[in-house]
Amino acid sequence: MFDGPRGAGLAAIFALVSCAGNEAATPVEKPTAEQAYEARIENARPVPKPASERVGTAPASVLPAKFSYSGELTQGGWIRGKAPAGAVSVTLGENTVPIAPDGSFFAAFDRDSGTSAELTATLENGRTVRENLAVSPRKWNIERVNVPRRRGGPSAAYQARRAPELDAIWDARQEQTGANGWQQQFIWPVKGRISGRFGSQRIYRGEPGSYHSGIDIAPGNGVPFVAPADGVVTLARTGFSLEGGLIIIDHGMGLNSAFLHASKLAVQKGDRVSQGQYIGNIGSSGRATGPHLHWSIKWNLARLDPLLFVGPQ
């Protein structure tokens, strides 16, 4: 067990210590100066500290063992928070929730979300941490009309035109740019009369139509609007059959904004924009009854209420 010069030095010292106070022990040779020096260096080596005691690593006792979060826990709402220490993955229901390097995350609830959702973290040791979230229901502006819903689908010509538009919108919404706008308190892209509210819907003789997926802001034709949070432009095009002039901005973590019916676009795909930066002008392009900005927000496939990001004007 004592090999080499260093081992010889240790063996010699061990022998000296073991025979101290024992007059009958066989005397051993005094270690050479080199051996004594080697042994002293070996004994002086520091014992590595546990990971929890090293500089820059917080002891496990002070790291959060549960989720921490805040936000709008309601249908069409959202939460920001931090995952438990050691989390390697997080899910909200069946949705994967990306985690930032510091453990922070963003998640949201669809307009038609149920009244509860489970937030789950899987830790590096294999353990899971679960938290049940109460999601408050909302009363939507529902208009019931005693007329049948219009039958018949779009023409073949319209479908042929619309298919590549929908593909472009889908691709833009799926793009992940690493933007950090999801961490910010959003601002209004423009202020004005609210002409359409998120979640409103018509029921045609008991058959529901599609609900309004954003809010409509009508400050007047040509009024400029700005980015509500930092992000990267993933789509900026005119001429869409329904949306007209359309801008989509990725805010990161699966969160994105879309701005419809613009008369002018001041950005292009790939541009990195800052909160409050001018990006376009209000118009009535596409399928619109008058000049307004339709602003919608999505997290993955969930449609969210922009009012819950900005509050009253």
122 and 168 co-located in one domain: no
105 and 244 co-located in one domain: no
**Is residue 51 in a domain?**
no
**Is residue 55 in a domain?**
no
80 and 150 co-located in one domain: no
**Is residue 242 in a domain?**
yes
Q: What DSSP line would sit under 55-103, residue for residue?
A: TT---GGGS--S-EEEEE-BTT-EEEEEPPTTEEEEEETTEEE---TTS
Contact 106, 94 (CB under 8 A): no
Q: Which pLDDT score is estimated for 149?
A: 84
Cβ atoms within 10 Å, residue 164: 9
**Is residue 53 in a domain?**
no
Question: Residue 254 has what DSSP assignment?
Answer: T
Distance of CA 298 to the CA centre of its chain: 12
* CA gap 214, 86 in Å, rounded: 37
Res. 57 pLDDT band, cuts 50 70 90: very low
239 and 150 co-located in one domain: yes
**Is residue 50 in a domain?**
no
147 and 125 co-located in one domain: no
Is the model more confident about 308 or about 154?
308
**Is residue 54 in a domain?**
no
Q: Span 103-121, mean pLDDT? A: 97
154 and 173 co-located in one domain: yes
**Is residue 52 in a domain?**
no
Distance of CA 7 to the CA centre of its chain: 56
Domain tally, the chain: 3
Which residue range forms the structural domain that includes residue 90? 60-134
184 and 275 co-located in one domain: yes
Q: Which pLDDT score is estimated for 41?
A: 35
* pLDDT surpasses 90 at 152: no
Model confidence, pTM:
0.79
Q: Which pLDDT score is estimated for 64?
A: 62
Candidate from 26-35, 37-46, 144-153, 272-281 with smallest mean pLDDT = 37-46
Q: Span 230-257, mean pLDDT? A: 98
156 and 129 co-located in one domain: no
289 and 189 co-located in one domain: yes
Q: Span 280-300, mean pLDDT? A: 97
* pLDDT surpasses 60 at 39: no
Q: What is the mean pLDDT of the chain?
A: 85
Domain's final residue, options 96, 111, 134: 134
* pLDDT surpasses 70 at 278: yes
Domain's final residue, options 105, 134, 163: 134
Q: Span 145-155, mean pLDDT? A: 83
Phi-psi region of 158 (alpha: psi -120 to 50; beta: other; left: phi over 0): alpha
* pLDDT surpasses 90 at 12: no
- In this structure, what CATH number is given to the domain that contains residue 65? 2.60.40.2470
Q: Span 271-278, mean pLDDT? A: 98
Domain's final residue, options 134, 156, 182: 134
158 and 306 co-located in one domain: yes
For residue 194, the cross-strand partners are 217
* pLDDT surpasses 60 at 259: yes
* pLDDT surpasses 90 at 38: no
272 and 176 co-located in one domain: yes
Question: Residue 185 has what DSSP assignment?
Answer: P
Q: Which pLDDT score is estimated for 153?
A: 77
283 and 266 co-located in one domain: yes
- In this structure, what CATH number is given to the domain that contains residue 151? 2.70.70.10
**Is residue 27 in a domain?**
yes
